[in-house]
Structures are given as structure tokens and as C-alpha cells.
Amino acid sequence: MTNCPRDDVRDRLPDLLNERLDAAARAEVARHVASCPECAAELELLRSMRSALAPAPNVDVARIAAAVAASRGARASSPDVRPLVPRRPASGARRIAWRIAAAFVVAALGVGSWAIMHRQSGPDVVIGDHFPAPGSKPVAAAPDFAANQATPAHPSPSAKPSASPQMVASTGHRGLVMDGGVNDLSDGDVRMLLQSLDSLTAIPDADPAPVTYPIDDGGGVR
């Protein structure tokens, strides 16, 4: 331990040792050391410590310099291309799924528009599945249902339903038949549908809320 009160000088002893003081500071510190045995002893200790710690492992300077030059050459020859940000594997599949979902929505809207237009200008559209509700007046809305027009309102027990019941997504006794294919659309409707699909660019952030329609026992929608 040292009792020297000149902390500022002791603080600069390593600088004196390593010749990092300007002339004025060096003179001041050296003058103090000459008159202070404790600081002189500490300076000597620092000198011994530096000597003890000074030996460094040999390093091959030429080899390191060559490595630096080689790395520079490698950088110069490599194109300046930013690394691509890795894409999440699920992203593409999710995008496709959303597009398919959007296509179905647009198709439903297109069919709905078509059905509404035809309802206003023509006979009522068939509502429900192949077995209309009692009292309903089935009118075919699409060529697929032409055969169903002959179906009685109340089918006989022997009458067999379609092998794959068609889904109803209509309201009341009038509404939309969702089982119509794109082939059922007119040229104008198809064109409109395609334009709508082309304009789809945004990807929704969340799943669309499910839409449910209450369906009464008769197959119609309340």
C-alpha cells in the first residue's frame, strides 16, 4: 500500500513508463518520483511487471499479411449482392390458400349477382337442395337444376335423394345456390369474375369470419 497523497501522479506512472506523457507532464511526474520513495517503488514495480508480461508468442506477420491480402482479393472478386432474406416456408402456401379462399368468395359473389339479376328479370331461383321446402315453387336457376324442376315438392318415400346432397346457402325461398359451377356462368359473368380475381392483391391478416346461415327443416333458409 502507498501513503502518497498524489493520486494524480500515481495515476500517470504507467504513462511515464510507456513514454506517453508530453514534456511538461513528464517533468512534473519525474520530479515527484525523485522525491517520493513510494512512487519510485511503484514505478519500479510497474517496470518489472511490464517486463514479466512483455513476452508475446511469436506470430508470423507475413502469413497474417497474406491472409489480409487474400481476404481483400476474395471480397473484390465476389459480387456485391445482398444476401436474400430467407423466406418463411409457410408463407407461400398461406398466400395460395388465401387466394383460393378469395377466389371462392368472389365466385360466390359473382354467382349471387347473377342469381339476383335473373331473379329480378325472370322466374324465381330454386332455393335449397334437390328437395325444396314444402310449398315452394321450384324453378331452376341453372342448367344443372333443370332436372330438379320435375322433382315434386314432397318427394315420395321411394324417391332417393341425390348421392351427394348439395349445400344450400340461400335465404328464404329465394337465394343462392352454391353448388353451381363456374361453367354455369355466362360469358359476362365469367369475365367479371376473372377481372375480380385479377384485382386481388391484398392478403388478409386474419382468417375470414365464418358465415353461417340458419337452415330450416325443410331445407330452406330462415
Partner 1 sequence: MTEPSRTAEEPDDDALIARWRSGDERAATLLVERHATPLARFVAGLGERAEVEEVVQDTFVRAFGSLDGFRGESSLRTWLFTIARNLVRDRARSRKGRRDVVSLEEWHAVTEHDALDTAVADETEGRMRRAVQQLTPMQREVFTLRVTEGMSYKEIAAVVASTEGAARVHYHNAMRAIKEFLG
Query: What residue type is 74 in one-letter code?
Result: A
Query: What residue type is 177 in one-letter code?
Result: V
Looking at the Cβ atoms of 17 and 102, the one nearer to partner 1 is 17
Q: How far is the CB of 71 from partner 1 (least distance, A)?
A: 5
Looking at the Cβ atoms of 16 and 169, the one nearer to partner 1 is 16
Going by C-beta distance under 8 Å and a sequence separation of 6 or more, which residues neighbour residue 114? 185, 186, 189
Give the integer Cα–Cα distance in Å for 213 and 222. 8
Residues in contact with partner 1 by CB under 8 A are 1, 11, 14-15, 17-22, 25, 42, 45-46, 48-65, 67-69, 71-72, 75
Going by C-beta distance under 8 Å and a sequence separation of 6 or more, which residues neighbour residue 33? 9, 13, 16, 39, 40, 43
Give the integer Cα–Cα distance in Å for 165 and 157. 17
Question: How buried is 59 (Cβ within 10 angstroms: 0-12 exposed, 13-18 middle, 19+ buried)?
Answer: exposed
C-alpha cell at 123: 322466374
Query: What is the chain's Cα-based Rg?
Result: 45
Q: How far is the CB of 82 from partner 1 (least distance, A)?
A: 16
Looking at the Cβ atoms of 26 and 99, the one nearer to partner 1 is 26
Q: How far is the CB of 66 from partner 1 (least distance, A)?
A: 9
Looking at the Cβ atoms of 20 and 222, the one nearer to partner 1 is 20
Looking at the Cβ atoms of 21 and 108, the one nearer to partner 1 is 21
Q: How far is the CB of 94 from partner 1 (least distance, A)?
A: 35
